[in-house]
Amino acid sequence: MRKLEKNRVFEGNLILVNQNYPLRCTIAAKNLCPVFENQSQILMQQECAGMLDKLFQELNWSISEEIYQLIVGVSGYRTKSEQEEIFDDSLKENGRAFTEKYVAFPDHSEHQTGLAIDLAENREEIDFIRPQFPYQGICQKFREKIADFGFIERYPKEKQDITKIGAEPWHFRYVGVPHAEIMKRYGMALEEYIVWLKQFSFPDHSFIWRKGDREFKIGYVEAEETLTKIDLSEYGKQMQGMEERAGEIISYNLAECKELPNIQISGNNVDGFVITYAQ
């Protein structure tokens, strides 16, 4: 039996951070690392930085130019005070309407999660708030591959009413494998996906997703007032080590470990947990 404290709801790859749901966990500095060799100031959480690196490497194989010359990072992880500064600067420079459309309030920005990044097509002039990342050429090639590596385009134009954020073709969010693919297939924004998942209660009514010879079982568990108990007994031996380690590690990288059955638990930052089991 896995016991999760209430505040675990606010951690994990699937946390929904938006106007209604502020970030409520602290991202430890030791979990952050640079995404690009030549841009050490752009940080993301380790797992997602690793996946982004893999995605770039795969793209690099398929093109004749060096990918890092074509696409550059603009902004990754931000502290709360950095977000405040960006928000205040934009208010002064661009006014309230523009700022509220494109810059999130402090604690409501995905950039504070360490799971989001703004990217730009490499040009002489790069706009910090609204970088160019067109739906063509290398940027589009990148966009077409992101779901395989657990990323989504978080603020597409057609979801503005749901996300309450203007179209941001440059902003990408890590949600993990295979969630990004499912969201893409069914055309769901993260707001919609979090609600949709709640119909699949874990373990008996989990959603089954197949990819090649792998099967993923995804289910939801509502958080209890204090401790939420999640019965993982059917996953047998592989869970024992995890139970013993208890403490910090609740997340395993499903994509890293193709040969092993694997399990991942993420809070949704709203009211419960999403369990992802891969075999």
Neighbours of 132 (CB within 10 A): 15
Residue closer to Zn ion, measured from CB, 163 or 206? 163
181 is an interface residue for Zn ion by CB under 5 A: no
**Binding window for Zn ion (CB under 5 A); candidates: 10-18, 40-48, 169-177, 223-231:** 169-177
Q: Residue 182's beta-bridge partner residues? A: none
Residue closer to Zn ion, measured from CB, 80 or 185? 80
> How many whole angstroms separate alpha carbon 104 and alpha carbon 116?
13
For residue 243, indicate whether it is catalytic.
no
Hey, which residues between 229 and 268 contact Zn ion (CB under 5 A)? Answer: none
**Binding window for Zn ion (CB under 5 A); candidates: 8-16, 170-178, 232-240, 253-261:** 170-178
Smallest separation (angstroms) from Zn ion to the CB of 131: 9
Residue closer to Zn ion, measured from CB, 167 or 230? 167
Residue closer to Zn ion, measured from CB, 163 or 262? 163
> How many whole angstroms separate alpha carbon 88 and alpha carbon 96?
10
* Catalytic residue, candidates 110, 168, 181, 191: 168
78 is an interface residue for Zn ion by CB under 5 A: no
Instruction: Give which of 262, 199, 265, 266 is closest to 236, Cα–Cα.
Output: 262
**Binding window for Zn ion (CB under 5 A); candidates: 3-11, 60-68, 116-124, 132-140:** 116-124
Number of residues binding to Zn ion, judged by CB under 5 A: 2
Smallest separation (angstroms) from Zn ion to the CB of 109: 8
Return the sign of the alpha-carbon dihedral for residues 136, 137, 140, 144.
positive
> How many whole angstroms separate alpha carbon 275 and alpha carbon 144?
26
Smallest separation (angstroms) from Zn ion to the CB of 111: 6
121 is an interface residue for Zn ion by CB under 5 A: no
Query: Amino acid identity, residue 196?
Result: W
> How many whole angstroms separate alpha carbon 64 and alpha carbon 112?
35
Identify the residue among 12, 48, 115, 118 touching Zn ion (CB under 5 A). 118
Instruction: Please answer whether residues 46 and 38 qualify as being in contact, where contact means their C-beta atoms are separated by less than 8 angstroms.
Output: no
Identify the residue among 2, 8, 159, 171 touching Zn ion (CB under 5 A). 171
Instruction: Please answer whether residues 138 and 71 qualify as being in contact, where contact means their C-beta atoms are separated by less than 8 angstroms.
Output: yes
Longest dimension (CA), the chain: 58
2 is an interface residue for Zn ion by CB under 5 A: no
Q: What are phi and psi of 232, to 5 degrees?
A: -110, 15
Residues belonging to the active site:
168
**Interface residues with Zn ion (CB under 5 A)?**
118, 171
